[in-house]
Amino acid sequence: MELEKKRTYFTAEDIKTSADKRILEINHEFLKKIDDPDYPCLGAKSALHTHQYRMGMYGLMGKEETTAALGEDLKTYIQETIAADSQYMSMIAVFTDRVHSELDFEKRLWMQLQKLHDSEKPEQPWDPAVGSDPEKNDFSFSFNGTAFFIVGLHPHSSRKARRFAFPAMAFNLHRQFEQLRELDNYGKMKQTIRDREINYDGSYNPMLSDHGEGLEAPQYSGRKVDKTWKCPFHRQ
């Protein structure tokens, strides 16, 4: 008898009716964090208040079953975001790893992204809107031919805005930022978020830069690094 595939992808509506204690606990922590009046990211708040967020529940980062489920769920998220023409829909992938430090999380994050990339080679091309070399300013991670910006979250982050009770990665389509630019909303929104971040975190995140104006890869894990840092990711 074929075993039923374990469900890993949930909409906000799905979570409301779920009896799974793990997802209910994680969702509660997520809502509590993002709904804090002082939380700086307006995009995350918009996704929350319009129910335009998705959650993926996985095991250990880098494991074959985790990578396979994450890949399938990202494809679903891509389809739903494009179909809704959403500028804010996010997918938060949550894992069971016990992370010990910022460096530990960074290594796990890039291991998972490398496994995800390796799982689809050579079937999918890199999104032509972005570069594939993490040492170049035009880099963004691409999966299923689609570029992403990724925000790492975990309990040991030195940035309060990135601190979360569970190791996680928030995925947003790169095209969402371009849509905001086309609507002339990006600049004002960016400045508002940065002002709010100073109030929330005590300082502006020194690792952040606009796409094409600085390296994107160091921004993913949230750990502060200098110019000697080398991204462990390699396109196959």
- pLDDT > 90 in the chain, percent: 69
CB distance 90 to 172 below 8 Å: yes
Who has greater pLDDT, 5 or 119?
A: 119
pLDDT at 1: 43
Q: Is the pLDDT of residue 41 over 90?
A: no
| Domain residue spans of the chain | 9-219
The residue written with tokens 């993490």 in the block is 134
The residue written with tokens 């796990």 in the block is 108
Instruction: Read off the pLDDT of residues 47-60 as tens digits, 9 standing for 90 and up.
Output: 899 999 999 999 99
CA 128 to chain centre: 20
| Strands lying side by side in the sheet with 90-94 | 9-11, 53-57, 90-94, 168-173, 146-153, 141-143
All residues at 6 or more sequence positions from 111 whose CB lies less than 8 Å from its CB, including other chains: 61, 62, 232
pLDDT at 210: 53
Distances (CA, A) of 62 to 78, 84, 130, 170: 21, 30, 24, 16
pLDDT at 193: 80
pLDDT at 164: 97
CB distance 164 to 154 below 8 Å: yes
Q: 45-54, 97-106, 154-163, 172-181 — which is least confidently predicted?
A: 172-181
Confidence tier at 179 by pLDDT (50, 70, 90) = low
- Residue 206 has which token pair? 């020194």
